[in-house]
């Protein structure tokens, strides 16, 4: 098997848009390495990893040991979404075990500027995330500092929920706050149809769990999703 060096550094400065980021939360954890292999062969260029602390969200998921194991079995960049009450306590730890980009919640961060600076000092991508009830203006002061903004299109905490179409206006509002080089990610209930709706409003990174890893043919589901959003990224257009 060909060996590839792990490409480290801020992935959002290296990857072309659009990106479909499979959420490993929906994987079969007894076959995690194998399923990452299938996604890689299908063309995935980034993997989304959901960290939940049972406090900021009412669920628990993966912690540093699991991220370390994921890091050991893939060269793809890891887009780590931390749904935790105190992100400042965890950034270093997830950086150590192999995160390439860390996205924290604006609702949880006491000092978002400091967290963003620290992520950049560590050479990582820096992202900020908004829950559905948080307005776009909540990130106004830091929007230009981050590499990626994540607009949740479900309440964070669980995979397999229904896409909230009411978030589309926020996607467009956030896109209006960003430069073309900054990424706008959507997460929650994303399938080919909702992904396309988000793409038309300016999203260019599409997290999908159940609609990729929950499908029988993971590679085909990834390919269909990528195809659906491929030609529709960029700023919102008038006729959408």
Is 50 one of the annotated active-site residues of the chain? yes
Considering the complex, state which of residue 123 and residue 160 has its C-beta at the smaller distance from ligand DX5. 160
Least distance in angstroms from the C-beta of 219 to ligand DX5: 17
Does residue 50 touch Zn ion according to CB under 5 A? yes
Is 86 one of the annotated active-site residues of the chain? no
Distances in whole angstroms, Cα of residue 36 to Cα of each of 33, 142, 180, 212, 216: 5, 33, 30, 12, 14
Positive or negative, the CA dihedral 28, 190, 41, 125 is negative
Taking phi over 0 as left and psi of -120 to 50 as alpha, with beta for the rest, 198 belongs to alpha
Catalytic residue, from 50, 53, 147, 191: name it.
Answer: 50
The binder of 208, among Zn ion, ligand DX5, none, by C-beta within 5 to 8 A per type, is ligand DX5
* 3-state DSSP of 136-200: HHHHCCCCCCCCEEEEECCCCCCCCCCCCHHHHHHHHHHHCCCCCCCEEEEECCCCHHHHHHHHH
Q: Contact with Zn ion (CB under 5 A): which of 44, 62, 81, 151?
A: 81
Least distance in angstroms from the C-beta of 199 to ligand DX5: 16
**Considering only CA atoms, which of 231, 209, 233 is closest in space to residue 221?**
209
Instruction: Mark the segment that binds Zn ion (CB under 5 A) among 6-14, 64-72, 80-88, 215-223.
Output: 80-88
Considering the complex, state which of residue 3 and residue 218 has its C-beta at the smaller distance from Zn ion. 218
- Contact residues toward ligand DX5 (CB under 6 A) are 23, 25-26, 48, 50, 81, 154, 156-157, 159-161, 187-190, 207-211
**Looking at the annotation, which residues are catalytic?**
50, 187
């Amino acid at each position: 098997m060909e060996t590839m060096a792990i490409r480290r550094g801020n992935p959002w400065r290296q990857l072309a848009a659009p990106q479909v980021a499979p959420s490993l939360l929906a994987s079969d954890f007894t076959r995690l390495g194998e399923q990452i292999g299938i996604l890689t062969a299908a063309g995935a260029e980034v993997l989304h990893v959901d960290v939940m602390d049972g406090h900021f969200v009412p669920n628990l998921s993966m912690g540093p040991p699991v991220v370390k194991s994921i890091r050991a079995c893939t060269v793809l960049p890891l887009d780590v979404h931390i749904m935790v009450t105190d992100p400042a306590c965890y950034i270093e730890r997830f950086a150590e075990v192999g995160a390439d980009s860390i996205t924290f919640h604006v609702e949880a961060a006491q000092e978002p500027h400091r967290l963003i600076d620290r992520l950049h000092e560590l050479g990582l991508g820096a992202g900020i995330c908004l829950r559905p009830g948080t307005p776009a203006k909540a990130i106004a002061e830091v929007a230009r500092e981050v590499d990626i903004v994540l607009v949740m299109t479900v309440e964070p905490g669980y995979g397999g929920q229904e896409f909230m179409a009411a978030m589309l206006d926020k996607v467009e509002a956030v896109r209006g706050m960003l430069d073309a080089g900054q990424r706008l990610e959507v997460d929650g209930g994303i399938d080919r149809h909702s992904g396309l709706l988000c793409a038309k409003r300016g999203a260019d990174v599409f997290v999908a769990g159940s609609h990729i890893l929950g499908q029988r043919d993971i590679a085909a589901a990834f390919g269909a999703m990528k195809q659906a959003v491929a030609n529709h990224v960029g700023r919102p257009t008038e006729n959408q």
